[in-house]
Amino acid sequence: MNINRRRLFSGVLAAVLAAGTLSACATDSSTTPATATPGSALRAGSGANTSLGPIKKIDAGVLSVAYAEFGPATGQPVILLHGWPYDAYSYADVGPLLAAAGYRVLVPFLRGYGETTFLSAQTVRNGQQSAIARDIIDFMDALHIDKAVLGGFDWGARTVDIIAALWPQRVKAMVAVSGYIITQQAAQQQPLAPEAELGWWYQYYFATERGRLGYNRNRHDFNKLIWQRASPAWNFDDATYDRSATAFDNPDHVDIVISNYRWRLSLAPGEPQYDAYEQQLATGPAITVPAITIGSDFDGAAKDGKPYAAKYTGKHEHRILDGIGHNVPQEAPHPFAQAIIDADRL
């Protein structure tokens, strides 16, 4: 997650999609009016649900995946993915909204979060991007889901982008907060302007053993600080944060987070079985599946989606949620759920 990096630039402000009643209708980007809606209105319904219901588990690939499920088993599958430092509770309100619209909603805890565990003590605790994407393909296989609508933010959006790029046949449609954020290691080696580098403080901290130790000791307060900085206008309470914070007690959490950020800077190795995927991703592949991208205040100058619009070569719409921070589905559940429904109808 690029905390503050996008917000360090003066924003390019554009139209904002209004929050509305959920409906299973398509949105035509050429005719939809641009309507500015305050962030407070977009947050309607946030915090309505404080439970994910019973957490299920299934063996998939190298993991025993813990996941929440909403809606009828016969509904169109929707898989929603969280990021760091968040968890499945990011979709505690979105899940029921989509279930009410007839969807089967699956929200897995990523490797290193919640009750998701490795099946073998010998498996490398690897946080590289394609390993996480492969986990979701394995999750779909274990549940016998051939194709799903995918949605996500932060690590989740990156994972959705990767699956759409590498396995487009498995994606009916997608929603990605912050758009095209596939990591290309070569690009990560190029320095940014000093002010922009400041936004990466946590990544450089994690590159040190002091940072690993500090994160391990202080992960509860550390991640709460990230929540506050990534979503400064979201007045979440302690109970909301603490429900998610239990996911960071996973015994593999620190290893996965440190691996993820060190791998991005080429400071930690990936695994050979993912090399072919990473070679494809290094080319910056286009995404051909129907897609809706979402920009928020967190994205700063990239809020309008123009820097990455050309990467989406299929049906594509971009929506802007002004006044909303990084955790879009939890901060603005109605607009996020509507984006899922509209993407499914593109």
- pLDDT values of the chain reduced to their tens digit, one per residue, 346 residues: 543 334 333 332 233 233 333 433 333 333 333 345 678 899 999 999 999 999 999 999 999 999 999 999 999 999 999 999 999 999 999 999 999 999 999 999 999 999 999 999 999 999 999 999 999 999 999 999 999 999 999 999 999 999 999 999 999 999 999 999 999 999 989 998 898 899 889 999 999 999 999 999 999 999 999 999 999 999 999 999 999 999 999 999 999 999 999 999 999 999 999 999 999 999 999 999 999 999 999 999 899 999 999 999 999 999 999 999 999 999 999 999 999 999 999 9
Interatomic CA distance for residues 200 and 146, integer angstroms: 37
Placement of tokens 């998610």 in the chain: 244
Q: pTM higher than 0.75, yes or no?
A: yes
Vertex 34: Cα angle to 33 and 39 (nearest 5): 135
Paired with 67 in beta bridges are 56, 108
CA dihedral 47, 53, 59, 60 (to 10 degrees): -30
The amino acid occupying position 94 is: V
Q: What is the pLDDT of residue 40?
A: 86
Asked if residue 113 lies in contact with residue 250, where contact means CB atoms within 8 angstroms, the answer is yes
**Quick one: pLDDT at residue 26?**
34
Q: What is the pLDDT of residue 222?
A: 98
Determine the distance from the C-alpha atom of residue 279 to the mean position of all C-alpha atoms in its chain, rounded to a whole number: 22
The three-point CA angle 209-181-259 to 5° equals 20
What tokens were used for 162? 């990767």
Residues 48 and 326: their CA atoms lie apart, in Å, by 19
Q: Which two tokens stand for residue 244?
A: 């998610």
Q: What pLDDT score was predicted for residue 14?
A: 31
| Residue whose C-alpha is closest to residue 254's, from 225, 224, 211, 200 | 211
**Positive/negative CA dihedral, 225, 227, 231, 236:** negative
